[in-house]
Chain A
Amino acid sequence: MEAAVRPAWIGLALAVLVAAVAVQPSPAQETVRPIAPQDRLSGSAFMSAEARALQADDASNPAMLWVKDGEDIWARKTGVAERSCADCHGEAGASMKGVAARYPAFDPASQKPVTLDQRINICRTINQKAEPFAPESQPALAIASYVGLQSRGMPITPPDDKRLKPFLEAGRSLFGLRQGQLNLSCANCHDALWGGKLGGSPIPQAHPTGYPIYRLEWQGIGSLQRRLRNCMTGVRAEPFAPNSIEFTEIELYLAERAKGMTVETPAIRP
């Protein structure tokens, strides 16, 4: 299904953009200046008034359909353990408040950082003794939206955890790495050219403020990793595998870069 929907900007104004950034020096080592904290803007700041209104009202935000499904999953007993999320965590409004705002976080068992989706799947397998949710599946997006909503309005607060440091630095490097046939880094677009246009689309600053998002182009909800895959295929790079450590590292860097910005989950994006 996704193959039928092509990002409108692919191929379109890319020639112009490549011309604009190709003049920059030494591909591997270049440093694009990061956005100053006071200049940071969420993706919603680049949206039309109509899209912002859709997000602002829970009665019109279609992502709330997934939130309601997530609420059901939260309460449903399942797995060999016959336990619901609520059996252990109680009211999500209390136990999950602020949780999404501080993921990815370090998982002592695997000695690696995990995304919120992966942390939820750890509870699925270890605590509920059930099958993990497949990446990008309806229940995975529903429960992530429901847990994410409990942090809405709160600041993004990446954990101050020494064990995360090497992964965060790897994420920072990936963000600056030129990739794909178009040979562009995330920073080329999102640090250097934000506010500009790519085809008809404004280039946002790439802050992970609203995930999972309901994207109008997708006519559905999707995770941050789906969004990142779109940007990678946009520059004709091979996207990292779902739940790969590279994606987690980029997510860590995006969270650090957006530290203190407000969670809007579940957001609308064009």
Chain B
Amino acid sequence: MGRALINVPATAKAGDIIEIKALVAHVMETGYRHEVDGKPIPRDIINHFTCAYNGVVVFEADFYPAIAANPFLSFTTIATETGVLTFIWTDDKAEKQVETARITIT
């Protein structure tokens, strides 16, 4: 896959609701389009996304062909402890893109 941009607050207080933003480069080819010679362009979309906070999944989503290229997600979770958020996008070619971000509880 391509490049991802993750936005997580570097620090938070325990109990704070934090906003997380995740943008990833992906063609999100729907499978419904054809080349000029009529050959179908095979579907290649991200079909699943998870975000785990110190190993515990706090957000996950299934994706479908109507989602645009370079999908952007924003969601919230509750800051609990210092640690690592792990983001995993999986596409139809079973390629995984893994990104991490640190958060420190003050």
Residues of A within 8 A of B (CB): 3-4, 54, 57, 59-60, 62, 64-65, 68-69, 216, 219-220
Contact = CB atoms under 8 A, between A and B. Distances in A.
Given A4-B34, A65-B25, A59 B68 contact: no
B36 A69 contact: no
A83 to B, nearest CB: 24
Given A60-B23, A65-B23, A220-B69, A4 B33 contact: yes
A268 to B, nearest CB: 11
Contacts, number: 36
Contacts of B72: 54, 60, 62
Contacts of B5: 59, 64-65, 68
B34 A62 contact: no
Contacts of A216: 68
A69 B70 CA distance: 14
Contacts of A219: 28, 68-70
Contacts of A220: 69-70
28 contacts: A3-B36, A4-B33, A4-B34, A54-B72, A57-B21, A59-B5, A59-B21, A59-B23, A60-B21, A60-B23, A60-B74, A62-B25, A62-B69, A62-B70, A62-B72, A64-B5, A65-B2, A65-B3, A65-B5, A65-B23, A65-B25, A68-B3, A69-B3, A216-B68, A219-B68, A219-B69, A219-B70, A220-B70
Interface of B: 2-3, 5, 7, 21, 23, 25, 28, 33-34, 36, 68-70, 72, 74
A62 B23 contact: yes
Contacts of B68: 216, 219
With a 10 A CB-CB cut-off, give which of A59, A60, A64 has the most chain B CB atoms. A59
A54 B68 CA distance: 14
Contacts of A4: 33-34
With a 10 A CB-CB cut-off, give which of A54, A62, A68 has the most chain B CB atoms. A62
A139 to B, nearest CB: 13
Contacts of A64: 5, 23
Contacts of B70: 62, 65, 219-220
B7 A59 contact: yes
B9 to A, nearest CB: 11
Given A57-B21, A219-B68, 7 more contacts: A59-B5, A59-B23, A62-B23, A62-B69, A65-B5, A69-B3, A219-B69
Nearest to A62: B70
Nearest to B72: A60
A4 B41 CA distance: 11
A143 to B, nearest CB: 15
Contacts of A65: 2-3, 5, 23, 25, 70
B70 to A, nearest CB: 4
The 8 closest A-B pairs by CB, nearest first: A219-B69, A59-B7, A62-B70, A59-B21, A65-B25, A4-B33, A65-B3, A60-B72
A219 B74 CA distance: 19
Nearest to A214: B70
Contacts of B7: 59
B26 to A, nearest CB: 10
